[in-house]
Amino acid sequence: METLSVRCNHCGAPLQVAEGTRYVTCQFCQSHLEVRRTDSSIFTEEVAKLAQNAEKMAGSLEVITLQNEIERLDREHAPELAAEQMKRAAPGVKMAGGCIGGIVMVMFTSFGIFFAVSSSRHGAPFIFQLFGGGFALIGIIALIAMLKNAAGFSVEEPGAGSYAARRAELVRKLAELTKS
């Protein structure tokens, strides 16, 4: 049988392999080798290394798949994402608005009381006192409504199974893959 001279890809030792042999174990370093042929040459490649490369390739393929998935999710849910960011900003904005509104309403009420008291003290017609009292009453009602509204504020968490949760899951998987 025709034999071929090749070198171990791992330790460089000369090896004799039979023609047509695909796999060989180096008798010096015990590397598992694949005999590869091109038109002009014949050489060996470590099988373990090949497997590693394949694994790495599969890993990076998974990374790409995950990245694509995240990108697709982001694209699909772009309006939702914008709304969620708005929602997160909203309580702060509403709170500030509520504070200013509250101060305005307190001033409104004070003015109404002051108007009613001073007009009665100066013997103004009853209609003035009624007018001032009305102002004060409107101010108090508005203030109570605002306080009730403010008490209802809560920062909404993204619901489980929502887009945000799915995205977080994908990002976690991706981090795990790229870490190793």
Residues that bind Zn ion (CB under 5 A): 8, 10-11, 13, 26, 28-29, 31
Contact (Cβ atoms closer than 8 angstroms) between residue 109 and residue 140: yes
CB of 25 to Zn ion, least distance (A): 9
Of 3 and 25, nearer to Zn ion (C-beta) is 25
Q: Are 27 and 12 in contact (CB under 8 A)?
A: no
| H or E stretch at 58 | helix 47-76
CA 66 vs CA 41, 91, 112: distances in Å: 40, 33, 64
Nearer to Zn ion, 28 or 114 (CB): 28
Q: Minimal distance in Å, beta carbon 55 to Zn ion?
A: 22
In one letter, which amino acid is 72? R
* Least separation in angstroms between CB 21 and Zn ion: 15
